[in-house]
Chains A and B, each alone.
Chain A
Amino acid sequence: MDIIVVGLNHRTAPIEIREKLSISDAQLREALIRLKSCHGIDEGVILSTCNRVEICAVVQQVQTGFQRIKEFFEDHHTGLSADEWNACLYLYSADEAIRHVFRVASSLDSMVIGEPQVLGQLKEAFDTAMHQKATGVILNKVFRKAISVAKRVRTETKIAENAVSISFAAVELAKKIFGRLDGKEALLVGAGEMAELAVRHLVDNGVQKVMITTRNFDNAIDLAKRFDGIPLRMEEFPRVLAEADILICSTGASHYVITEEHIDKAIQRRKNRPIFLIDISVPRNIDPHVNRIDNVFLYDIDDLQSIVDTNLEGRQKEALKAEEIVSEELITLNKWLKSLEVVPTITALRTKAEDIRRIEVNKFLSKLGELTPDQRETIEGLAASIVNKLLHSPLVVLKDEARSENGALYAEAVRRLFNLDKDPPQRPHRADSGKEDEADPGEESVTRK
């Protein structure tokens, strides 16, 4: 029994291949059923996002499992020759497979480290697999653990803090100036993807009124519809400048559209209420000298980019701490996995029975006093025979199941029933084998959901 991860992601495969191999939500159930029916695959979870397609599976044997999953991909997708995407596939097994799942959940393997979506996607993939009964005792444990590791990483490191996109950086700056953005007004001069994204984030964060002006008035009308905003003609904007708390400038002009004089007047009319200017145009459209005016905060694209760069660097540093957490959690999960192996369970069960027999026989013999060797032998034989008869059938079943997909389940059950773990945790109310480590706050919150 082995855990493997087979798949490809944004680092190993270009989008053209990822999109061909991706499995949509609608296809997922059918795909899980097909995966489950593959010979040699006991459990499986399929995670398909825009940046990765991967399958985590419990297989009888690593290489044949890998082969089966490749075949699974082949069956699923047409139009690409196997050679094209085979080179993009990665295979992780045992520890590395589990580490990979943990890292994916914790967003350490993401394109933008620390982005929050992947955890939700992983949860969903796991839930669907569980509902399709594609998972069993092992993957249930691995994925629940992965979710709790991700939560630990989120709370114990600053990996998800601070903006890592230009538009979010602008929103964070706006919050440092205005506190809350509720009721604030924004003015967009010009258009462009980045400017629109910034406006969208500002609106999402509470900005209520958006005024839009573009050289071509029709564009302004179009954009205004999208943000429920007010379209303005280009020549009107100096008039409304004083109303805007946040101004985003992104025109194609080759000169300064907004000058010191404009802003000087606006600030006076605003009675010194601060104004936040974002110039994302290249060449710049706002005279940089504007920043000298009190209560005016001007940021150009380079300023915002440097914030993003610093934050990304910060995330890289935090990622190191996160990797440590992942390693720690890997050790605890491994302990649990070890206990699932059938052979050690059989040995442990035999040892335990043997210990009990010896102790009880000795206790009994000492009570009886002097006995002839024959009598002794008879009593010892009696005890041994009871133990052997009692253990016979569980041992046979364990050995049979060792090769089946339920092996781990039986081993786990035997360990619990016979209390075989050397330091048995006291868990009287336990019902679900997949949920351990109550001390882990992250996991606790998962189990409560």
Chain B
Amino acid sequence: MNALFFKITLALYFLGTLAFLAYLLAGKKETFSRFSLVTTGIGFAFHTITLIMRMFESGYVSLTHLSDAMDFFAWSLVMVFLLVELRFHIHVLGSFVLPLALISLLSGAVLPAEIRSPDTVLHRAWVYVHTAMALLGAVAFAIAFLVGVMYLIQERLLKSKQFNNLYNKLPSLDILDDLNYKAVILGFGLLTMGIIIGAWGAGNVSGWYWDPREIFSLAIWLFYLIVLHGRITVGWRAKKAAYLAIIGFIGVIVSFVGVDLIWKGQHSFL
């Protein structure tokens, strides 16, 4: 049942992605706009049901598995998009969010999906909170990344004086830069809490030791700290901030997936 729901979710996100891309490229402002949103909304509902059913099936919330983590990441990403859409009506953000959500959901599905019972260390409340914080932080950084990409596109269009459909649909530079800033602050806050909870919990269990994921997470944390500091003090905003958000998110992906596949440490997803 939940495999079927998962497939429906995938299909709906796929349709949503197509509709959002069509919206991006179509000439008329309103074509595909409602369809893409409705498809995504229904897809999100199915996705939520899938996650809840999976939780009941296994008897616990599964976040520590890489495929589950990707699943949760995609779910949060779509949720954040829907919230931003409701609040700020930046419909075109969906054209960037949906493909990323679909990719992460698909790559999660490609990984072995059977539910294994995690070892006792990982079956504790702090682990969930720690993982969820880190994943939500990654979602915020993903938004900053996507908004950064949108900024660079719009900036290029404005500079080269090309006033095409894309130019009309993308929001103003100011809005994009502001969203970037807010997303980075939010992501930084979540990551900070994730790291603190992780360090505290690990201190109780096995002690802090320098495994690749910890090193990467700290490096990312430091990077975003510098990004925020740079914005406030020396004006790393606008174009520079967009580039930094893109670089930062590449780091997040490496830490998120790369570490797991290259180094199989205790800290990796199972």
- CB pair B172 A272 closer than 8 Å: no
- CB pair B159 A291 closer than 8 Å: yes
A272-B238, A273-B235, A274-B238 as given contacts; A177 in contact with B172, CB under 8 Å: yes
Give Cα A274–Cα B241 distance, bound, in whole angstroms: 12
A270-B235, A272-B236 as given contacts; A178 in contact with B163, CB under 8 Å: no
Contacts of B235 in A (CB 8 A): 270-273
A176-B167, A310-B163 as given contacts; A271 in contact with B172, CB under 8 Å: no
B161 contact from A180, A271, A294, A303, Cβ within 8 A = A303
- CB pair A179 B175 closer than 8 Å: yes
- CB pair A273 B161 closer than 8 Å: no
A176 contact from B173, B234, B238, Cβ within 8 A = B173
Contacts of B234 in A (CB 8 A): 271
From 307 to 364 in chain A, residues with beta carbon under 8 angstroms from any chain B beta carbon are 307, 310
Tell me what chain B mostly uses at the interface: helix, strand, loop, or mixed. helix
Contacts of B175 in A (CB 8 A): 179
Interface mask (B215-242 → A, CB under 8 Å = 1, otherwise 0): 0000000000000000000111111100
B174 contact from A178, A294, A299, A303, Cβ within 8 A = A178
Contacts of A158 in B (CB 8 A): 29
Interface mask (B124-167 → A, CB under 8 Å = 1, otherwise 0): 00000000000000000000000000000010001101010001
Q: Is A64 an interface residue (CB 8 A)?
A: no
- CB pair B158 A179 closer than 8 Å: no
Q: Report the interface size class on chain B.
A: 20 to 34
B243 to nearest A CB, angstroms?
10
A271 contact from B163, B171, B174, B237, Cβ within 8 A = B237
Contacts of A180 in B (CB 8 A): 174
Q: For residue A299, which residue of chain B has the nearest CB?
A: B161
Q: Is A24 an interface residue (CB 8 A)?
A: no
- CB pair A274 B161 closer than 8 Å: no
Interface mask (A31-44 → B, CB under 8 Å = 1, otherwise 0): 00000000000000
- CB pair A294 B239 closer than 8 Å: yes
Q: For residue A292, which residue of chain B has the nearest CB?
A: B159
Q: Which residues of B contact A (CB under 8 A)?
A: 29, 154, 158-159, 161, 163, 167, 171-175, 178, 234-240
Q: Is A295 an interface residue (CB 8 A)?
A: yes
Tell me what chain A mostly uses at the interface: helix, strand, loop, or mixed. mixed
- CB pair B172 A175 closer than 8 Å: yes
Sample (21) of A-B pairs whose CB atoms are under 8 Å apart: A158-B29, A175-B172, A176-B167, A176-B173, A177-B172, A177-B174, A178-B172, A179-B172, A179-B174, A180-B174, A271-B235, A272-B235, A272-B236, A272-B237, A272-B239, A272-B240, A273-B237, A274-B173, A274-B238, A299-B161, A303-B161
Q: Report the interface size class on chain A.
A: 20 to 34
Give Cα A297–Cα B155 distance, bound, in whole angstroms: 9
Q: For residue A175, which residue of chain B has the nearest CB?
A: B172
- CB pair B171 A273 closer than 8 Å: no
Contacts of B167 in A (CB 8 A): 176
From 196 to 215 in chain A, residues with beta carbon under 8 angstroms from any chain B beta carbon are none
- CB pair B158 A176 closer than 8 Å: yes
Contacts of B173 in A (CB 8 A): 176-179, 274
A178-B172, A179-B174, A297-B158 as given contacts; A307 in contact with B236, CB under 8 Å: no
Contacts of B159 in A (CB 8 A): 291, 297
- CB pair B172 A294 closer than 8 Å: no
Q: Which residues of A contact B (CB under 8 A)?
A: 158, 173, 175-180, 270-274, 291, 294-295, 297, 299, 303, 306-307, 310
A202 to nearest B CB, angstroms?
15
- CB pair B163 A307 closer than 8 Å: yes
Q: For residue B239, which residue of chain A has the nearest CB?
A: A294
Q: For residue B233, which residue of chain A has the nearest CB?
A: A271
Contacts of A176 in B (CB 8 A): 154, 158, 167, 172-173
B183 to nearest A CB, angstroms?
16
Contacts of A173 in B (CB 8 A): 158
Give Cα A295–Cα B241 distance, bound, in whole angstroms: 11
Give Cα A180–Cα B175 distance, bound, in whole angstroms: 9
Contacts of A178 in B (CB 8 A): 172-174
Q: For residue A245, which residue of chain B has the nearest CB?
A: B174
Give Cα A272–Cα B240 distance, bound, in whole angstroms: 9
- CB pair B238 A295 closer than 8 Å: yes
Give Cα A297–Cα B158 distance, bound, in whole angstroms: 7
Known contacts A177-B172, A178-B172, A179-B172; 9 additional CB pairs below 8 A are: A175-B172, A176-B172, A177-B173, A179-B171, A272-B235, A273-B235, A294-B239, A295-B239, A297-B158
Contacts of B240 in A (CB 8 A): 272, 294
A291-B159, A297-B159, A303-B161 as given contacts; A273 in contact with B172, CB under 8 Å: no
- CB pair A177 B237 closer than 8 Å: no
Give Cα A176–Cα B172 distance, bound, in whole angstroms: 4
A136 to nearest B CB, angstroms?
40
- CB pair B163 A294 closer than 8 Å: no
A382 to nearest B CB, angstroms?
65
Q: For residue A302, which residue of chain B has the nearest CB?
A: B161
Contacts of B29 in A (CB 8 A): 158
Contacts of B236 in A (CB 8 A): 272
Contacts of A291 in B (CB 8 A): 159
A438 to nearest B CB, angstroms?
24
Give Cα A175–Cα B163 distance, bound, in whole angstroms: 14
B157 to nearest A CB, angstroms?
9
Contacts of A273 in B (CB 8 A): 235, 237-238
Give Cα A175–Cα B175 distance, bound, in whole angstroms: 10
Interface centre among A175, A179, A180, A303 (most CB of B within 10 A): A179
Give Cα A173–Cα B168 distance, bound, in whole angstroms: 11
Give Cα A307–Cα B234 distance, bound, in whole angstroms: 35
A163 to nearest B CB, angstroms?
11
B242 to nearest A CB, angstroms?
11
Interface centre among A178, A294, A295 (most CB of B within 10 A): A295
A290 to nearest B CB, angstroms?
11
B84 to nearest A CB, angstroms?
15
Give Cα A158–Cα B167 distance, bound, in whole angstroms: 16
Contacts of A307 in B (CB 8 A): 163
